Amino acid sequence: MRWSSSFACAITLTLGLAAAGCGGAKPRVPVTTSARGVAQQPSRTPRPSGSPYEAALAFAACMRRHGVPHPNPDRNGDFHLTPAEELRLRAAGHAKVEAATRACFRYLKPVVSTKPLSSKAKGQALNVLGQLRTCVQKLGFRLGAPVVKNLTLGRAFFGFQPGGSPPSKTMTKAEHRCERRVEFAKKIDAIVAADRAPV
């Protein structure tokens, strides 16, 4: 299964959770906080499923019960966030998304790998980020140095250090255009899938 999590760089990762960042070292999780409470849990909690689709569907429903507007997966169990969905997740707030993710991860645990990315995979991902950075620079915007690091629950951060051009709507459009041009999501997905494949 894949979870595309991108608040600036759209990425899709196989058998893992992702957090990505572009245009500065901001993670692909919300940066603001909401004061709204968590929705009540239903009295019966479905058991985790071995099917990627069912597991991802249960995860998304759990996230929404916790007050996070998470979209449903596609039929393969993959999450692909649109820019509008990214904005809604960001508005939910980093703390709420993290708390919900930890509470709901039990649904994904049977079908995702929590294995940290290897040094080789991180190096390959840095090369892809470099391609993205070069493309964005050709469109007139600067990004900081590429960063790849492992996070909790099998997630990884893909982004850039601070020091680039100030964020703007025009820059975000340039980043999205370059993500498509260099096939950023496809390449990162392949790197992670190969790195986490059974030996």
Interatomic CA distance for residues 157 and 5, integer angstroms: 10
Cα-atom radius of gyration of the chain, to the nearest Å?
A: 16
- pLDDT, residue 49, reads 55
Q: What is the pLDDT of residue 44?
A: 37
Q: Summarize pLDDT for 146-165 with one digit per residue, the tens.
A: 999 998 888 888 999 988 89
- The pTM assigned to this predicted structure is 0.70
- Residue pair 132/22 in contact (Cβ under 8 Å)? The answer is yes
- Helical residues (DSSP H) of the chain, grouped into ranges: 52-65, 83-92, 94-104, 119-138, 169-181, 184-196
Locate the domains of the chain by residue range: 1-199
Beta strands in the chain (DSSP E): 19-20, 146-150, 156-160
